[in-house]
Chains A and B, each alone.
Chain A
Amino acid sequence: MSDVLSLKGNVKSKLGLNVFKESSEFHIEIKTDKTNDKRLFACVRLCPAELYSADEQGCVVLSTDGCLECGTCLIICGDEVLSWNYPQGATGVQYRFG
């Protein structure tokens, strides 16, 4: 019908619409012995930026590039599973509309 659906199924391209400023640190990290915690598997489906994925070993891996800083994963997992902070000042997503 129109180009409004052209990004369907392509979260990476949707994230490409946003302004992101690179950071030298990972602001969210999965705690070492928690990579197969079942709460993380919920993040695979619920993270709006699709940053969580399950690997072949049944562990969940996280890439923070394109993080929208929404906090969903922190709410699901809590600080038992994640060490979570906002990115340093002047880094991360910078919304132009919000």
Chain B
Amino acid sequence: MEDNQFDAIIIGGGLAGLAAAWTLADRGKEVLLLEKGDYCGAKNVTGGRLYVEPLKGFFDDLWDKAPLERSIAREEICLVAPTKSLTVSYTDDSLSSIPGQSYSVCRAKLDRFFAKQVERKGAVIATKTRVDSLVIENGAVIGITAGGDTLYAKTVICCDGVLSLFPQQAGLRGPLKPKHSAIGVKEIIELDPQLINERFGVSDEQGAARLFMGDITCGRFGGGFLYTNKESISLGLVLGIEAFSQEGIEISVPEALDRFKERPEVLPLIAGGEPVEYSAHVVLEGSYNQLSKLYGNGILVAGDAAGFSLNAGITVRGMEYAVMSGYFAALAVEKALEKNDFGAESLSVYETLLADSFVLKDSKEHQNVAASLDHDRFFSFYPSFVCDLMHDLYKVNGPKKRIYPTLRKHLTAGVMKDILFKDFGKVKKL
């Protein structure tokens, strides 16, 4: 063993890595965090929204001081058919109260701020440093190489994001499959804060989140999102990689985003704005079944790299799991340091800690949701069905049918049969 050995080397300065570094440095441990970007957050993309509520009580007053954007006070869903749409807008007193349960965020700002706090705790962060490989000896991870240098550590925490290259090198997981992943593409559109307030009916501190499903993804698995930031709008699409690769879809990903921006449900909201950034990243659409092995000899995996994400249909989450898995990985390292044993069995306490927390509880609860959501009828049939029904309910052109006969006209025996036999089994798992 080398003398210049860190207690932990953390690969990746995203939320998982920063949370792990903060926690270990707070406990006086020797931590080195390596980040390939110019600064932490430089390579990270979110939709995005962070649910702060589950993180309260951790990381001192970090969340009070963090550069969060707007507290989401209005939750909206828009079902999109080719020429129609139905938007549901929900709010209540608790969503409108500040501090709220969730905030829109921009990762370059949030992660950079978090990194400063981590450095104040005493961790060393080396930015502009790409890790090239793990150093594995006798089946145990003992360090990393970066730019020709080899650095040694008692433990390595892989927080290298969704592509999870290092956990793959360590044999903890296989490559991510198209079926379990999606492409997220996003534009940041700068817009006068006063216009944002007026268009979304919110105050300066408050914001709105709107999810879109239906025709915008060509009726396939995926959706659109819009989050209001302080002085900009995050607008984007998430497209299932397998679903969008299929024959029958002619348009490209950039074309799909352009088409989305032109929709009458979107364009008036962003009009007058100025695009200032175009980003993309693979997103996990996985479930409990797609989680990697979370630890091995000398190695722990946290955040997206470990497969922690949740698409529960109307709540789409990942960052809270990154933060908390980083935190628990750090606690596991702390316990391993007490025992001076960094083998897989010693580090297995990580999984125990996760299992007792919302991280693995949520994964287990929702383990079949992603597979059930991947059902084209949810993205093609239902948005059109609901919009066609609304059309007839609102249409006035001569003799008008009552509501109930109009409903019956749409809910035919054939439709009811399909709902029961094609969809209900899926719906039960949502």
Which A positions have Cβ atoms within 8 angstroms of B?
A: 1-5, 7-9, 11, 14-15, 17-18, 21, 42, 44-50, 68-72, 74-76, 78-79, 85-90, 92-98
Contact = CB atoms under 8 A, between A and B. Distances in A.
Given A68-B280, A68-B281, A75-B282, A4 B178 contact: no
B159 to A, nearest CB: 14
A70 B183 contact: yes
Interface residues of B, number: 66
A98 B108 contact: yes
Nearest to A8: B258
A5 B262 contact: yes
B271 A1 contact: yes
30 contacts: A2-B273, A3-B272, A4-B272, A4-B275, A5-B261, A5-B267, A17-B275, A17-B278, A21-B38, A46-B239, A46-B245, A46-B253, A48-B280, A75-B163, A75-B176, A75-B178, A75-B181, A75-B282, A76-B241, A76-B245, A85-B130, A85-B165, A86-B43, A94-B39, A95-B45, A95-B277, A96-B108, A97-B106, A98-B46, A98-B107
A47 to B, nearest CB: 7
A3 B43 CA distance: 27
Given A3-B274, A97-B108, A89 B175 contact: no
B317 interface: no
B42 interface: yes
A75 B239 CA distance: 13
A74 B254 contact: no
A34 to B, nearest CB: 16
B279 A4 contact: no
A46 B241 contact: yes
Interface of B: 36-39, 41-46, 106-109, 111, 127-130, 146-147, 162-163, 165, 175-178, 181, 183-185, 187-189, 232, 234, 239, 241, 244-245, 249, 251-255, 257-258, 261-262, 267-268, 270-282
A91 to B, nearest CB: 9
Contacts of A98: 41-46, 106-109, 111, 277, 279
B128 A17 contact: no
Contact of B277 (A42, A45, A97): A97
Contacts of A69: 43, 281
A15 B37 CA distance: 18
